[in-house]
Structure 1
């Protein structure tokens, strides 16, 4: 089993200069937890997770939480907090190896890169779907 047969090729992305507010909105409306960050040539330059946004956000205990959150998230760019050293996989990599990498690294997704360009993503959700498919056989 190889990654290209199970990855999500319809991959939402961000640009490095996108704001955290834009990232949060995209994650909430499209119900994803991580977004690859690509440059103008679609080369992967980082990845942003909901966890990254929460870590950079104001505390919910703040007296003016909503106002401060909007202010901070509209002024911080994705490139300021994204993870830059991203572990990637290629479309012909073994699926089991990718699953082990996700588990060992404790991350939710691995970008799929070919010839230096982002072509998809494989996530915990994809692996859950694979598990369901195998269990139903």
Structure 2
């Protein structure tokens, strides 16, 4: 199974000046755990995750004053749609993060999360278990 099979194609792109509250509202409305942060001044992509917002609020910072820029991870590992889910999971495990921005060509086409990968693996395992049960019953 490939990253393209698991990734969410709902890609929220925000700017570095968005406040954490604005980012959280947008992420919550779309039921996603990460936003791609596009900085037009650097032409770079970063990622802001639910964990980044949680850590800021937990540290007592004001989500109406804190900007995405201050909490964006810019040293990002990107995935390709052709990666296997094993490759994506290994990259996440090695890097200690739960989301990968998926790039195809020049821009983001999706985000894949640990939850997305597990969902695909469970479905594949369930199908395999059903096939095995059918073979045993036949």
Q: TM-score range by the shorter chain?
A: 0.7 to 0.9
Distance 1:16-1:96 versus aligned 2 partners, 3 A rule: same
Displacement of 1:2 in angstroms is 2.3
Q: Which stretches of structure 1, 4 residues or more, deviate above 4 A after TM superposition? A: none
Q: Structure 1: which 5+ residue stretches go unaligned?
A: 61-68
Distance 1:81-1:118 versus aligned 2 partners, 3 A rule: same
Distance 1:59 1:112 in 2: 30
| Alignment pair present for 1:94 and 2:57 | no
Q: Structure 2: which 5+ residue stretches go unaligned?
A: 128-138
Larger Rg over CA atoms: 2
Corresponding residue for residue 103 of structure 1? 93
Distance 1:12 1:88 in 2: 16
Distance 1:20-1:35 versus aligned 2 partners, 3 A rule: same
| Alignment pair present for 1:34 and 2:24 | no
TM-score (norm: length of structure 1): 0.78
Q: How do residues 15-94 of structure 1 correspond to structure 2 at under 5 angstroms?
A: 15-39=15-39, 45-57=45-57, 59=59, 72-94=62-84
Corresponding residue for residue 14 of structure 1? 14
